Structure 1
């Protein structure tokens, strides 16, 4: 295939131009849902959103999105783009000044002088009602010192707004860089984060069709059958740049072999050329060997586990069983259920829980539900010790959920009461206020903290979970607001984002406008929520966390 003219193959298919060139061309940008949201992130940053972060693997389309951004910049925006982030701090500041056309002392360009120059320029630009945006590509190459200097640039502001909006674009390593403790101040100022993922199979199919259509080929003449598209997606991992290279080589192969549809042989040859080896012609036997190796390893692990289990059983048979007095608990008289117990859906526990065949319960168990509720309310910061457990509350909402995993409790990220059942079938409660990958921090009836292994606690917990959260003004249980709505809940949402984004003025007063909807979608995407632009309970919970309104779980290192 290498002997054929790559520059002429597109004419063979009736294309106006090569459809899969890797050169950046905004006309060929395939706007999947995530790409649309990525572009919305950048546009939000340009129009006053503060720090914005866009990350993605090599070849996922970050640069193409940047070029699309340039085509949609508002007329009153000045953009400085830095493409050499490996420069030292003074050189980087010089590049920014050069990009903006800000004059500085080139004989002695110290960091302070350059920063002062930028401050004067930004003030003058603001006086002309112009926005200034700094975009840094390949930002994962920045040194921690350069990132800290960039953070300091965001301190340049008037009484009402930031003078400089900054967009950081980079590979996934940028997230790890920003996670360093010394850069936590910068990380906290990022108002919107977006990560570009590889394309799905359906998106890969649409992406190939889109590029062919832009290049002038109708869908009926698509030379890539569905089975071939599935292989292209598998080989490329859904990375657009890899898709382009594979598709281009496949079309060149069709041209060279005088064929009209890509088949397995053509694609294997294209893959071999791309990889520079015979890998593409191996029919994926390597994948079969990988699965076989995993299966053999699994068999080995199971064999060892079975042997250890058998040894444990043998040891247990040699151990004297407990006496009858040790196994039989004292009879208990259950208390009458309170309204809070009816909410939790469980009965009162006995006065003494029996755990593990002994008469001494772990010290962290809370036996009475009313005591557990009082501890939860107090720890969560509510003045009324029983708050919404006993009567309606203007501030608190009580929730009872069923969770199956510790991951779900970690995602809830709130102190919670776990209803547990001991091996001897007694009810008790555990107040969890912190989680790690292996331990839970719990508080007993007297307020004493205990660190408990998740394996120990998980054997008792049956999933029932009680937690509290604060309702915003105007919120009624199950309510939601969206585009076009108005009222106190919309006012609360707009002011919440003004606080998060460190803006003096909210996006709206009390009318849910398009700007507020766009900001809400960005927040939902970053929080792993359904991106629908509607404010409901789950979004409020995440906003309460971000704003510090609700008490959250303690993390490892704090206890």
Structure 2
């Protein structure tokens, strides 16, 4: 009804499950990563829980779209079944032939086992997905557990995904279900959206429905109200936003407002004004009681005897001359120190005393800076290269910085036009510099804060104004990083070898999983995990593992030395 009025091609807040509208918050990305790990782990159970309306079903639809084509899936949407009905439904979903007139648990299990073995021999996977699993009876859960006994010597033949509300996890924690609980290889509880994600979610759905990115229908104040009423549950957000748009359309408004929000919340969420109005007599009674208590306390104080009251003694104020001089001059001294700290270091002639670079008392990382003479941070290139290399390796410095004999340390060379580009890297950087006489030089940059930089000296760390570095910087920089074993070129789906195994292991460590998604072959599950990681880090989401993806992965795992760690090492060296 209101789509054309707001310039939309379809209703943006339908509660029907549509993967196209899936909003990948940080929680949803983590949940999808856990599901992908579970499917690729080679058997067992995967558990996804979450409150009603948080997007569990939509997330699983997204998972189904990303499963490899060699996967057969059975979906159980109605778990109100007994054990035999469940097995029969699974067979029906997978197309397994069985005697529909006379069948038993054994005959159904045997038929399913033969199907799973045939699938395994053909290189296919089989997945069973059960929605609303919190409604399953104990005997049905036990029968599901027995299905995971169907296995080969290396892996389970059936992957089972249990989806339900948080009480499902509580049910599985019961002692009688501990055998099933111990077979869960991946579990995740999907939380509601926070305030920022709620606003992004609303905008995302509107844009998918055809709204231009520069338009705003829901102002921030209304978004805050929506979050307060819905607590970040996506389904409730959809219902409330749909009614708000309908109300704005009926009132001929181009944007939602608080009045429309109040009316919509009352209509679709059942919030009755009379319920709030009925509270005022109780509030009035509480105020009367509090007032009576205060009055009694005041009267009680007035009736206390005053015979023992001591006369008030007023001490004479000290004369101005008696005030300590240090106290009087402290503000002026602090102001003078602040001005001095803001003055940039300048170069002096040979006859004049050399000023020191102004530095704070301590580095934010906890180490003190070493005062430096002018241009002490300008070093011969070989010396600065040796300083950077020592942060990554105890081996002798190679003749060429970017040529590590062991192949485990690589070099990235780049050009930058602004300090902002370097600050975003958060790594120790070797800057290509020139001396005032235009000879080649280098500076080891250990971090940027505001308009000042931390740089390495022969021994210690110094703080220098960026304005002093800028005239001598050519714009070039280099930094080092640790390369996964066997990595020589970008990796994509279908590749195999030790480099793939190393990358898969890094992602398993990032997600705190005991098993990686693959051994040595770059499979579809690993590609999807790479895509999720690339999207979360602002990279091109092509699923190809290149240098930029590995640099972000190393940073997330703390593998490469960051600027703060390098600064701490040089500070300790200076103290020694």
TM-score by length of 2: 0.51
Q: How does 1:76-475 map to 2 (within 5 A)?
A: 76-279=70-273, 282=276
Q: Is 1:67 the counterpart of 2:78 in the alignment?
A: no
Whole-Å separation in 2 of the counterparts to 1:9 and 1:214: 16
Q: Structure 1 residues 485, 284: CA separation in 2 closer, same or farther (over 3 Å shift)?
A: farther
How far residue 482 of structure 1 moved from its aligned partner, in angstroms, is 8.9
Question: Which position in structure 1 is the counterpart of 2:538?
Answer: none
Q: Is 1:484 the counterpart of 2:478 in the alignment?
A: no
Whole-Å separation in 2 of the counterparts to 1:203 and 1:491: 30
1:305-360 CA-to-partner distances (Å, cap 9, x unmatched) read: xxxxxxxxxxxxxxxxxxxxxxxxxxxxxxxxxxxxxxxxxxxxxxxxxxxxxxxx
- 1:219 is paired with a residue of what secondary structure? coil
Q: Structure 1 residues 514, 122: CA separation in 2 closer, same or farther (over 3 Å shift)?
A: closer
How far residue 204 of structure 1 moved from its aligned partner, in angstroms, is 0.1
How far residue 48 of structure 1 moved from its aligned partner, in angstroms, is 3.8
1:203-230 CA-to-partner distances (Å, cap 9, x unmatched) read: 0000000001011112332211101100
Question: Which position in structure 1 is the counterpart of 2:8?
Answer: 15
1:258-309 CA-to-partner distances (Å, cap 9, x unmatched) read: 11121111111001111235249959989x97xx99xx9xx9xxxxxxxxxx
How far residue 515 of structure 1 moved from its aligned partner, in angstroms, is 4.2
Q: Is 1:507 the counterpart of 2:518 in the alignment?
A: yes
- 1:258 is paired with a residue of what secondary structure? coil
2:31 to 34, 38, 43: 38
Question: Which position in structure 1 is the counterpart of 2:557?
Answer: 534
How far residue 490 of structure 1 moved from its aligned partner, in angstroms, is 6.4
CA contact (8 A) 1:269 1:281 kept: no
- 1:159 is paired with a residue of what secondary structure? coil
**Greater Cα radius of gyration, structure 1 or 2:** 2
How far residue 9 of structure 1 moved from its aligned partner, in angstroms, is 0.9
How far residue 43 of structure 1 moved from its aligned partner, in angstroms, is 2.6
1:13-44 CA-to-partner distances (Å, cap 9, x unmatched) read: 11111111111111111111111222222233
- 2:52 is paired with a residue of what secondary structure? coil
CA contact (8 A) 2:42 2:155 kept: no
Whole-Å separation in 2 of the counterparts to 1:516 and 1:265: 47
Whole-Å separation in 1 of the counterparts to 2:239 and 2:554: 32
Whole-Å separation in 1 of the counterparts to 2:554 and 2:174: 29
How far residue 507 of structure 1 moved from its aligned partner, in angstroms, is 3.4
1:452-511 CA-to-partner distances (Å, cap 9, x unmatched) read: xxxxxxxxxxxxxxxxxxxxxxxxxxxxx9983579x969969x99xx9998x9833799
CA contact (8 A) 1:54 1:167 kept: yes
TM-score by length of 1: 0.53
Whole-Å separation in 2 of the counterparts to 1:100 and 1:120: 12
How far residue 518 of structure 1 moved from its aligned partner, in angstroms, is 5.4
Whole-Å separation in 2 of the counterparts to 1:483 and 1:130: 34
Question: Which position in structure 2 is the counterpart of 1:441?
Answer: none
Question: Which position in structure 1 is the counterpart of 2:437?
Answer: none
Gaps of 5+ in 1: 1-7, 300-480, 523-529, 537-559
1:402-459 CA-to-partner distances (Å, cap 9, x unmatched) read: xxxxxxxxxxxxxxxxxxxxxxxxxxxxxxxxxxxxxxxxxxxxxxxxxxxxxxxxxx
Whole-Å separation in 1 of the counterparts to 2:131 and 2:116: 21
Q: Structure 1 residues 482, 49: CA separation in 2 closer, same or farther (over 3 Å shift)?
A: farther
Whole-Å separation in 1 of the counterparts to 2:21 and 2:503: 40
CA contact (8 A) 2:2 2:245 kept: yes
- 1:158 is paired with a residue of what secondary structure? coil
Whole-Å separation in 1 of the counterparts to 2:246 and 2:505: 54
CA contact (8 A) 1:55 1:172 kept: yes
Whole-Å separation in 2 of the counterparts to 1:223 and 1:29: 20
CA contact (8 A) 1:78 1:131 kept: yes
Whole-Å separation in 1 of the counterparts to 2:12 and 2:93: 33
Whole-Å separation in 1 of the counterparts to 2:528 and 2:9: 40
How far residue 106 of structure 1 moved from its aligned partner, in angstroms, is 1.5
Whole-Å separation in 1 of the counterparts to 2:223 and 2:517: 47
Q: Structure 1 residues 192, 244: CA separation in 2 closer, same or farther (over 3 Å shift)?
A: same
2:18 to 25, 36, 41: 25
Q: Structure 1 residues 515, 484: CA separation in 2 closer, same or farther (over 3 Å shift)?
A: farther
Q: Structure 1 residues 502, 212: CA separation in 2 closer, same or farther (over 3 Å shift)?
A: closer
- 1:53 is paired with a residue of what secondary structure? strand
CA contact (8 A) 1:80 1:99 kept: yes
1:47 to 19, 40, 56: 40
Question: Which position in structure 2 is the counterpart of 1:353?
Answer: none
1:170-208 CA-to-partner distances (Å, cap 9, x unmatched) read: 110100110010111111111111111000000000000
CA contact (8 A) 1:269 1:280 kept: no
Q: Structure 1 residues 501, 134: CA separation in 2 closer, same or farther (over 3 Å shift)?
A: farther
Gaps of 5+ in 2: 294-480, 487-497, 534-552, 560-576
The count of corresponding residues between Structure 1 and Structure 2 is 330
How far residue 145 of structure 1 moved from its aligned partner, in angstroms, is 1.1
Whole-Å separation in 1 of the counterparts to 2:53 and 2:202: 15
Q: Structure 1 residues 103, 493: CA separation in 2 closer, same or farther (over 3 Å shift)?
A: same
- 1:52 is paired with a residue of what secondary structure? strand
Whole-Å separation in 1 of the counterparts to 2:174 and 2:252: 56
CA contact (8 A) 2:67 2:525 kept: no
